Amino acid sequence: MKTRDKILLSSLELFNERGERNVTTNHIAAHLAISPGNLYYHFRNKSDIIYEIFLEYEKLVDFYLDIPENRPITLEDLTFYLESVFDGLWSYRFFHRDLEYLLDSDLRLRTDYREFTERCLAAISRIFEKLADAGIIEPQPEELRFAMSLNVWLVITNWMAYLKTAHASEGHGSLNLTHLKQGIYQVLTLEIPYLTAEYREQVMQLREKYRPELPAALGNFDGRVLSQK
Amino acid sequence: MKTRDKILLSSLELFNERGERNVTTNHIAAHLAISPGNLYYHFRNKSDIIYEIFLEYEKLVDFYLDIPENRPITLEDLTFYLESVFDGLWSYRFFHRDLEYLLDSDLRLRTDYREFTERCLAAISRIFEKLADAGIIEPQPEELRFAMSLNVWLVITNWMAYLKTAHASEGHGSLNLTHLKQGIYQVLTLEIPYLTAEYREQVMQLREKYRPELPAALGNFDGRVLSQK
């Protein structure tokens, strides 16, 4: 692996583990056992590293959200999109944590992130449209579909922050990919009222696989629900 | 006004304007033209100030979300809850920006914030229940109601971050309370499929008042929708 790629990989690892704010270029160089000078040969500063990592994240999500236009989409596709988006969020989890700060510090990133958001929203909206074409959900007027896509985006991008702030008594390390993917339950909740009779049971079963097991509010709630049954 | 209260008020103002991370206790003392010693007489450190501000925020939201148990709730109540919650988010807007960092730095805050979230989720769920009692929405099973309440919470608490990151070309000062309250449109979107025939038109009209005018994706989208009409 080239030094440049090693730097990106180690940086991502350190940012995710310790939080971007707590990691300097010196930490990254030390972690790789290279000199700071060597690091600066490849990247002018931390912002440049973060920007390159964002470009990779963007490429990954664009790849995942490439929607087939020559065939109807299936429930398997939907599952793949949802799983992939949460995989991406996990792999680049430092990014959404300090997003506003990162965007304030780098104009390129700010502009690119806005376009990235727009592309993601358009992709979500297109998925809703194709789900309707495939008879999985009822068709929706364009305007409602867009407002729903934005809600899907808001739920997805806020889920990790919710887990971290709601799991108040636990440490950093407690959050894992399984918890994160339970956000899929919340996303599918948004679609329930629009499901067609034909697919309702299948989607509800899929959703059930991701039911959150939260120690906080939701946990108590579930306990109550179960005990009443 | 007592010095202690002046310190809290000025701190809140400075945190909201400049971001909590960029404001030190020295800035606050200078802003009030008091000595740092005088400030430290009232608060040991910035964390103590933030904690006291959180307690006020919490009191405010608890006051707003006090649900009448002796009468049915109305659409006016719902409007009041939504307006108030976004007013609160605006008045204490620094808080949600760096929430994870703030909670990591103060264990009391972390524990209190978790309980606060649980109370808010229970209040949202109770509002759904009373909206069903009042015939405004169709009744929902407890479990769905809770998942929906969590989605409402995720949409509300992520709306400001979305605006800030989607309005990428604009500066800090561009976000105002009107933009923020357009989040109500997104929250009401979640309720559309559950509205009863009797109230549907009224709620849709209420929602229309908050339609976002976003320069980014949604703006383009609306333009397209309008031009097709």
Q: Are residue A29 and residue A83 in the same domain, yes or no?
A: no
What pLDDT shows up at residue A99?
A: 87
Q: Are residue A19 and residue A131 in the same domain, yes or no?
A: no
Report the number of distinct structural domains present in chain A: 2
What's the average model confidence in pLDDT over B181-208? 97
What pLDDT shows up at residue A212?
A: 87
Could B186 and A157 be called an inter-chain contact, meaning their C-beta atoms sit closer than 8 Å? no
| DSSP letter assigned to residue A216 | S
What pLDDT shows up at residue B213?
A: 79
Q: Are residue B171 and residue B104 in the same domain, yes or no?
A: yes
Of B129, B221, B224, B229, which to mutate for an interface test with A (greatest number of A Cβ within 10 Å)?
Answer: B221
Residue among A142, A185, A193 minimizing CB distance to B193: A193
- What ipTM does this complex have? 0.90
CB B174 within 8 A of CB B167: yes
Q: Find residues 20-49 of chain B whose CB sits inside 8 Å of chain A.
A: 21
Q: Are residue A195 and residue A152 in the same domain, yes or no?
A: yes
Q: What is the pLDDT of residues A82-116, one digit of tens each?
A: 999 999 999 999 998 888 889 988 999 999 999 99
Burial of B26 (0-12, 13-18, 19+ CB in 10 A): exposed
Q: Are residue B172 and residue B221 in the same domain, yes or no?
A: yes
Q: What is the pLDDT of residues B198-228, one digit of tens each?
A: 999 999 999 999 998 765 444 444 333 333 3
Sign of the Cα pseudo-torsion (B196, B200, B206, B208, in order): positive
Last residue of a domain, one of B27, B44, B61: B44
Which residues are A137's β-sheet partners?
A: A195
Q: Are residue A113 and residue A130 in the same domain, yes or no?
A: yes
Regions of chain A with pLDDT less than 70: 167-173, 214-229
Query: Which CATH number is B126's domain given?
Result: 1.10.357.10
A108 to chain B, closest Cα gap in Å: 10
What pLDDT shows up at residue A159?
A: 95
Q: Are residue B8 and residue B51 in the same domain, yes or no?
A: no
Q: Are residue B120 and residue B19 in the same domain, yes or no?
A: no
Residue among A99, A143, A194 minimizing CB distance to B161: A99
Q: Are residue A148 and residue A134 in the same domain, yes or no?
A: yes
CB A23 within 8 A of CB A14: yes
Of B100, B107, B144, B154, which to mutate for an interface test with A (greatest number of A Cβ within 10 Å)?
Answer: B154
Q: Which domain holds residue A119?
A: 47-228
Q: Are residue A96 and residue A23 in the same domain, yes or no?
A: no
Amino acid of residue B112:
D
Q: Are residue A112 and residue A174 in the same domain, yes or no?
A: yes
Query: Which CATH number is A37's domain given?
Result: 1.10.10.60
CB B100 within 8 A of CB A161: yes
Q: Are residue B8 and residue B79 in the same domain, yes or no?
A: no
What's the average model confidence in pLDDT over B129-155? 97
Interface A-B: count of C-beta contacts within 8 A: 145
What pLDDT shows up at residue A101?
A: 84
What pLDDT shows up at residue B41?
A: 97
